[in-house]
Structure 1
Amino acid sequence: MSELSEVSEVSEASEVPEASAVSEVSAVSDASDASDVSGASDVSGASGKSGASQASAASEVKAELDRLMRRFLGAFTNTDGRRPDVDRVREVFIPQGMIISNVGDEPVVYDLDAFIEPREKILTDGSLTEFSEWEVAEHTEVFGSVAQRFSEYRKSGFLNGTWFEGSGHKATQFVRTPAGWRMSSMAWDDVAD
């Protein structure tokens, strides 16, 4: 039987000083034996793992997925003279990764290179300065070697000399690879002004 772990968290990105978090972890062994665990409860499933062991494993996976999301979002930061590190996108995604903007009337589907190239240009040519993007809330589900995360994010910066602030939502899928967890796809939509 398989194991489903769900982890929800409301948090600020690590770069934001007043970070606060509220966490809930639940592990489900199978549909007939669904139980919430708070980290120390004993929930044994077909795998023979205790609830504490499942919660510990779920926490480790969650920490890795959190790290990947922070690295992805941080790749575009160019505040305080910092140079963006857009090559991080290739580090956190599988090589065949797909990124989809669903902001306009029609989705725009990018492979990694098509996504990175225009962003690197505007983040380094002076068009987009003092830019940062951070996750403010998320809901993550892990099932074996796949995971998904729904995020709410905020962003701000100067675009062509004019200050802007925005927000939106991302849906990200992850897969466990021999090299560890990686993003496989991401779709986003911005909140309309």
Structure 2
Amino acid sequence: WHIKNHDVCNKQIINLLVIMYWWFIPVYRLRDKIDLFLEMRVDYQTTSPFSKEEVMKYMYTLIEIQKNIQSKNEFKGQSTHFMIQDNVHVLEYRINYLMDGMYRKKTSKILMIAVLALPLLTNSIILESAFEPPNNEDMYDQSDIDKGYIIKHKDGTYELVFGKMRVEISNPKIECFKDIPIIEE
């Protein structure tokens, strides 16, 4: 059933999502829930034609596989994620699910769409810092400076005067001040 449902491809797509959104913590929970869903879907597909006794044998087989995976040295340090969901709590949930026969429980489609769209939408939000636009009264260009004059003070400092602005300058001989008259104090 896993092969027929293309579950390996589905798990790889989910793994790609986890790689792309590694920083988004809920994507790990989503991966676990989708893995659980895939296992439960296969359990349902496998056991739907079974009698109660055959379902019990199937559950016993799942438990034995889990025990073998945990006890055998050949699986130590390796993930058996694609063979069987290797979390004991997942197996417990699957067994309870099979015993209760809760096959018809469904999640709201709106909730599923929201959960799947959330990682994609988080990348579409860009936060930018806000700042006040510049005040045009405080902006001057070269033509405003050319209408002004430079005052050379007795202590050797220079001051640029244009309009109501007075600005201390260090060198009146730079290019932008070449056409401005210098007045000695």
Query: Which category of TM-score, normalised to the shorter sequence, fits these structures?
Result: under 0.3
Q: What's the TM-score, normalizing by structure 1?
A: 0.21
Which structure has more helix as a fraction of its residues? 2
Choose between structure 1 and 2 for higher RCO, CA contacts under 8 A separated by at least 6 residues: 1
Which structure has more strand as a fraction of its residues? 1
Q: What's the TM-score, normalizing by structure 2?
A: 0.22
